[in-house]
Amino acid sequence: MILNMGPQHPSTHGVLRVMLEIDGETVVRIMPDIGYLHTGIEKTCEAKFYQQVVPLTDRIDYLCPLTNNLCYCLAVEKLLALEIPPKAQWLRVLLNELTRINSHLVWLGTHALDIGAMTVFLYCFREREDVLRLFEAVSGQRMMTSYFRIGGLALEPPMDFLDRVRDFVRRFPARVDEYENLLTANPIWEMRTKGVARITPEDAVALGASGPTLRASGVDFDLRRDMPYSSYDKFNFDVPVAQEGDVFARYLCRVRELRESNKIVEQALAGMPEGPIKAEAPKVVLPDREKMKTQMEALIYHFKIITEGFSVPAGEVYQAVESPRGEMGYYVVSDGTAKPYRVHMRSACLANLQTLPAMCEGRLIADVVAAIGSIDIVLGEIDR
Amino acid sequence: MSLKPAITDLEQLKEHPAVACLERGLPGSIEAAKFEHDEMSLYIERSSIREACALLRDHPSCPFNFLSDVTCVDWYPAEPRFEVIYHLLSIRQKERVRLKVRLGDDAPSLDSVTPIWPAANYFEREVYDLFGIRFLGHPYLRRIQMPDDWEGHPLRKDYPVEGYR
């Protein structure tokens, strides 16, 4: 029998349609069907100026908007050969890791909810509320922050921002203990997730899986540590790796990543450098408002950047960052004008979704729900 | 960070593992090379793309076992119009390389690399859907993002941003 799961389904984490060919309760074939959230973002980017693309990038992987911003800004800054000041780089790391915590909280809450643990969902969203308030404090927006701009950050963070982050970071490890208390040694959780949807490391690499989906199968690779960007090489953190490659292993990897991200934020707070938050590039970076209102050149630059954009030297760049889901890459091709010629987003989820047949064929239907949750997909990134 | 000029001379780039491997195993497959922004781009001859990918995946010391991405750029109205781009990553050596294949306009087609990296499956479907490039040997070449009965290939440069519907 062919059963259709989705696109409207509480467990598909978005508008994913999965066609299941089943024999009794066993899945014989599984075929994901995507494209329900396709909005042509890549095409739209070609019609916008470079700085106008930044808000579009927020909406691609909408659970980690700052990571998208970071990847795109790093790519264009590479094309422009801009030197980003250390304070901006450290704040980018700090906010990136808060975004990772945010994204993993959604993953944990919804994944646990799919499998039946409703309390975890509410606990995770309680912490997420704190992080969203931090994002609102710094950028004015809870989710689609667009806070990282080409050349640094959009605005100076408020004066009490770092204290609020410090407060969150102090409270957070106890919360992770709460989630683990509810799930990790829970016999129901273990029965539903141990040995379920296993994938071998060779298959995972061959299918292009990255991030926790790859690390849970034993492949120790994390872009933050192995190919660092934006001063990640100055931070000390462990990269959780598991060996079994099943849903439980992916769960453990991500929960440990919550703790590691907390560690990174603590280090960022402790060692935050002083200095400007924007690069020294008047033709690319908007001037401060006071300068814009008092100096003629600043006013002219402001006007030119907003109405005509800035031209980027011709070339191409592929910048990859470690998003909460895996390797998120931006391939930006410039033809020397103020609008990008081509922007392509390498979606971590699209590649991770390809592991679904390898994980689910031959298993029970209920395991499909656990598997989809454990891959942690976001349809905005898959479909763009 | 100043803008360093691109290095396009193949002689200077011979130490890069990908260049060395292809020069030795498949001479003549590299049409041109470019090293810019610390990234290596190799223009590969169209008929040797599958063999080149297999050689790179099975490289003894720097295996490019991870296919990051397959995408395409439309250079309309310049000829050759399409450029299919493969981003490879060697997990062991933490080395990236970009392979580019230039295709002309009428019925552009290319060998699929799904036998080498199954990861190419969805990426090549997306390139087919949005650009119209057929991948020969692909197990299931259907539209992936656009509806199945869509006409036209939206990411081509002669397709308007607003679309037709």
93-122 of A, contacting B, C-beta below 8 A? none
Q: Provide the domain count of chain B.
A: 1
The reply to whether B149 falls in a domain is no
Instruction: Supply the pTM of this predicted model.
Output: 0.93
Nearest-angstrom CA–CA distance, B23 and B29: 8
Joined together, the tokens standing for residue A146 give 């667009």
Residues of chain A in contact with residue B58, where contact means CB-CB under 8 angstroms, are: none
Nearest in space to A283 (alpha carbons), one of A268, A298, A262:
A298
Nearest-angstrom CA–CA distance, A210 and B119: 11
Choose among A35, A208, A313: nearest Cβ to B67.
A208
Going by pLDDT thresholds of 50, 70 and 90, the confidence category of residue B164 is confident
- Whether residue B69 and residue A78 make contact (CB cut-off 8 A), yes or no, is no
The reply to whether B150 falls in a domain is no
Choose among A34, A44, A351: nearest Cβ to B161.
A44
**pLDDT tens-digit profile of B44-79?**
888 888 888 888 888 888 888 899 999 999 988 888
- Whether residue B94 and residue A227 make contact (CB cut-off 8 A), yes or no, is yes
Given a contact cutoff of 8 angstroms between Cβ atoms, the answer to whether B110 and A2 are in contact is no
Closest residue in A to B117 (Cα) is A206
Question: From the CA of A149, how many Å to the nearest CA of chain B?
Answer: 18
**pLDDT tens-digit profile of B117-160?**
999 999 999 999 999 999 999 998 989 998 888 888 999 998 98
Question: From the CA of B151, how many Å to the nearest CA of chain A?
Answer: 15
Residues of chain A in contact with residue B70, where contact means CB-CB under 8 angstroms, are: none
- Whether residue B87 and residue A350 make contact (CB cut-off 8 A), yes or no, is no
Joined together, the tokens standing for residue B18 give 């990908």
Domain hosting B61: range is: 17-136
Quick check: A76 contacting B, CB < 8 Å?
Answer: no
Strands (E), chain A: 2-5, 17-23, 26-33, 148-149, 152-153, 315-323, 326-334, 342-346
Residues of chain B in contact with residue A204, where contact means CB-CB under 8 angstroms, are: none
Quick check: A40 contacting B, CB < 8 Å?
Answer: yes
Q: What is the CATH number of domain A2-383?
A: 1.10.645.10
The reply to whether B4 falls in a domain is no
312-341 of A, contacting B, C-beta below 8 A? 313, 315-318, 320, 327, 329, 331, 333, 341
Query: Which of A46, A84, A205, A284 is the best substitution to test chain B (most B C-beta atoms within 10 A)?
Result: A205
- Residue with more model confidence, B10 or A259: A259
The CATH number for B60's domain is 3.30.460.80
Q: Beta strand pairing status for B39-44 and B95-103?
A: parallel
176-215 of A, contacting B, C-beta below 8 A? 205-208, 210
The reply to whether B57 falls in a domain is yes
The reply to whether B11 falls in a domain is no
Going by pLDDT thresholds of 50, 70 and 90, the confidence category of residue B36 is confident
What ipTM score was computed for the predicted complex, to two decimals? 0.92
For residue B2, is pLDDT > 70? no
Joined together, the tokens standing for residue B22 give 């292809």
Mean pLDDT of residues grouped by 10 in chain A (384 residues)?
A: 85 85 90 90 92 91 92 92 92 93 93 89 92 92 90 90 93 92 90 89 91 91 90 90 90 92 93 90 88 91 92 91 92 92 92 90 88 89 88
- Whether residue B144 and residue A35 make contact (CB cut-off 8 A), yes or no, is yes
Nearest in space to A355 (alpha carbons), one of A251, A256, A257, A246:
A246
The reply to whether B10 falls in a domain is no
Residue A290, Cβ density class (10 Å: 0-12 exposed, 13-18 middle, ≥19 buried)? exposed
For residue B1, is pLDDT > 60? no
Phi, psi torsion values for A85, nearest 5 degrees: -65, 150
Closest residue in B to A79 (Cα) is B37
